[in-house]
Amino acid sequence: MLSDPRLQQALVALAQPIAEFRAIIDDAISQADAFITAQHASAPQRAEHAAVSLGHFADGRIDAAGFAARFPPVAAASPSAIAALEQALRVFRDVRERGDDIFVVDVPPGRRLGVELDHALATIGSVFGAVVLAEVVRGGRYTPEHARLLQSREFRSWNKTERRFAPPLVVLVNGADLQSGAIMDFVDGREKIVLVVCGASPPAPLARCITPGTFVLQTVDGSGLDRMAAFNGPAVAAIVPTGAAVFMHDPLGGKDPWQRMTINFIPVTPKKSIGGQSIWQMSEDLQVIAELAATPFSIPALGNGSAAPAAGAADAAEKIAAWLVGQAGLQDGAA
């Protein structure tokens, strides 16, 4: 599954949020290294640093060595605090050295999707704990109780700020193991999850993920992933097999559901269950996206046909235009 080209496609689309998370780690490493270096600096090194900081104006006017002794660049930290900071550095470096692997979750067949997501984000959560620990040490407030910040932290314990900086995940999962309820626990802040679906899949696995403020996308070729990655809020996407529903729910589209929904394809309901989803459940999911996209008004039919609701904004515009042309007697090239 890890050789699936759609995996790389998803990682490329998520390059910006991935870069933002990596910037957090790089900045934390830089600050922690500088603090530790300053702690071990000799008196001459501190004097040299002070002279550079004071600039040429201080030459011959201020004793750099005396200034460094009186105003050290960082407060002295206890050995236990330094040891804790070095542990935090190991967390940062371990995550950085894992490269793209830290953003990829490979769900083994038969395993629960929610459990795998929980584990992946708990591991990443230790980064946020390490950031807090580093700030505590550099601020001179470290106590032994702060060591617990380096433990794995489940997503449900993350605060608002941490959820805003949550890194994206690309999840490889069998369609039979794809349960939308398992995803919703992690839809918050700016978390972005792209599911790369393998094998037979329910036709609309993300239908129940649609809420007014959540960007939801089902695509067969990766179209729309760029918009999903740029959305400033929680987003879920699935690269589904051909034959599944293709749609986009963009919260920026408007205040009403039909304005936010764009449907490119709705299949017929499968004739047999897939994974744990029954025919009835899959039919309900397809009906959900169809009803969310339906306009609140009916489009008159040409001739004597009965009016019917449009399937969405684009469909409404097309049908209204056709009706107006018909009413004006301009169809078939008439002047």
In a domain? residue 146: no
pLDDT band at 250; cut points 50, 70, 90: very high
Question: What are the helix and strand counts (H, E) for the chain?
Answer: 12, 9
In a domain? residue 287: no
Domain that holds residue 329: 297-335
Q: What is the pLDDT of residues 25-80, one digit of tens each?
A: 999 999 898 888 877 655 555 545 555 555 666 565 565 455 445 445 556 778 89
Q: What is the pLDDT of residues 166-204, one digit of tens each?
A: 899 999 999 989 888 889 999 999 999 999 999 999 999
How many domains are contained in the chain?
A: 1
Question: Mapped to the 3 state alphabet, what secondary structure does 43-112 carry?
Answer: HHHHHHHHHHHHCHHHCCCCCHHHHHHHCCCCCCCCHHHHHHHHHHHHHHHHHHHCHHHHHEEECCCCCC
3-state secondary structure of 228: helix
In a domain? residue 318: yes
Of 181, 262, 267, the C-alpha closest to 228 is 262
Q: State how far the Cα of 150 lies from the Cα of 281, in Å rounded to an integer.
A: 42
Burial class from Cβ neighbours inside 10 Å (0-12, 13-18, 19+) for residue 48 reads middle
* Ranges 8-22, 81-95, 141-155: which has the least confidence: 141-155
In a domain? residue 313: yes
Q: What is the pLDDT of residues 110-149, one digit of tens each?
A: 889 999 999 999 888 889 999 999 999 988 898 988 888 8
In a domain? residue 335: yes
In a domain? residue 227: no
For residue 255, pLDDT beyond 70: yes
Structure-model confidence comparison of residues 288 and 333, the more confident one: 288
Q: State how far the Cα of 309 lies from the Cα of 300, in Å rounded to an integer.
A: 9
For residue 210, pLDDT beyond 60: yes
Structure-model confidence comparison of residues 333 and 112, the more confident one: 112
For residue 307, pLDDT beyond 70: no
Contacts 24+ apart (CB under 8 A), 146-154: 146/84, 147/84, 147/87, 150/84, 150/87, 150/88, 150/91, 150/126, 151/126, 152/122, 152/123, 152/125, 152/126, 153/122, 153/125, 153/126, 153/128, 153/129, 154/118, 154/121, 154/122, 154/125
pLDDT band at 262; cut points 50, 70, 90: very high
β-bridge partners, 239: 196, 219
In a domain? residue 301: yes
β-bridge partners, 309: 298
Residue 68 pLDDT: 47
pTM (global) more than 0.85: no
List the end-to-end C-alpha distance of the chain, in Å, as a whole number. Answer: 59
In a domain? residue 317: yes
